[in-house]
Amino acid sequence: MRTHYLILGLLSMSLGTLTTTAWASLGHGDNSNEVHNLDFDRTISVEAGDMWFEPEEMTIEPGETVQFDITNTGNLEHEFVIGDKAAQKAHREMMQGMTEGHGHGGHDMAESEHGGQMPSVSIKAGETKTLVWTAPENVERLEYACNIPGHYESGMYGEINL
């Protein structure tokens, strides 16, 4: 129980930093066409494999708006979630709890209930999804990760240097 409160605490802290910045999350559904109407500074292509991201780290200017094109070249479903290390960990532990508890498929949890405000997108094997995101001004380091149980631990994480 104690860890539960701790997780909530960490999560709300990280939400605090993220929600103050403007980020837009598109491409969850089939609306990725609309992306072209949006203003972004550059596109970063990301490959999500089993169990890695390529590139393994990236540098983004504070305030820069980036469109990520994430292609899942693996055999399993993956997610691409941006957040600080603690928020990623909290998110991961919750998803782990989900699968150990009563068998919800994990990934959609990331976006709705718990990942809450963490910019995130789920990508099925073979698909490409986009995510537009503006880097915050007041943070030095963030992580991108896949928090489906076991995926982060196997190597699906990368660093964003701001």
Partner 1 sequence: MTRSNIITHPLSRRQVLKGGVALGVGSAAAMGLSPAWSNPWGHTNAYAKGVEEGPEVSLAIRRESLPINGKEARPISINHTSPGPMIRLKEGQDAVLRVTNLLDEPTSIHWHGLILPPGMDGVPGVSFAGIAPGETFTYRFPVRQNGTYWYHSHSGVQEQLGHAGPLIIDAAEREPFRYDREHVLLLTDWTFEDPMSVFRNLKTMEGYYNFQERTIADLFADMRQNGLADTVEMRSMWAKMRMSSRDIADVTGSTYTYLINGHSPEENWNALFKPGEHVRLRVINGSAMSYFDVRIPGLKMTVVAADGQPVQPVPVDEFRIGVAETYDVLVSPEDDQAYTIFAESMDRSGYARATLAPRLGMQAEIPERRQIADRGMEAMSVHMDGMDHSNMQGMDHSNMQDMDHSNMQGMDHSDMDGMAGEQRKTRENGMLAAGEAQPGSRYGQAGIGIAPDERRVLVYRDLKAFTPWPDRREPGRELELHLTGNMERYMWSFDGKKFSEVTGPIHFEKDERLRLILINDTMMEHPIHLHGMWMELENGQGELIPRKHTLNVKPGERVSALITADAEGSWAFHCHLLYHMDAGMFRVVRVS
Element (H, E) at 94: helix 85-100
The distance of closest approach from Cβ of residue 102 to partner 1 in the complex, given in angstroms and rounded to an integer, is 11
- Residue nearer to partner 1 on the CB measure, 88 or 130: 88
Omega into 156 within 30° of 0, i.e. cis?
Answer: no
Is residue 151 a contact point for partner 1 (CB under 8 A)? yes
Within 8 A by CB and 6+ apart from 35, the residues are 26, 27, 67, 130, 132
CA distance 2 to 108: 25
Using alpha carbons only, give the angle 112, 49, 86 rounded to the nearest 5 degrees. 45
3-state SS, 52-66, equals: EEECCEEECCCCCEE
Contact pick of 19, 20, 59, 154 for partner 1 (by CB under 8 A): 154
| Binding flags for partner 1, 52-91, as an x/- string (CB under 8 A) | x---------------------xxx---------------
Within 8 A by CB and 6+ apart from 4, the residues are none
Contact pick of 2, 100, 103, 138 for partner 1 (by CB under 8 A): 100
Antiparallel, parallel or unpaired: β 141-145 and 128-134: unpaired
- Residue nearer to partner 1 on the CB measure, 64 or 97: 97
Number of residues that bind partner 1 (CB under 8 A): 14
The distance of closest approach from Cβ of residue 9 to partner 1 in the complex, given in angstroms and rounded to an integer, is 19
Contact pick of 16, 108, 153, 161 for partner 1 (by CB under 8 A): 153
Contact pick of 25, 71, 73, 96 for partner 1 (by CB under 8 A): 96
- Contact positions toward partner 1, by CB under 8 A? 50-52, 74-76, 96, 100, 149-151, 153-155
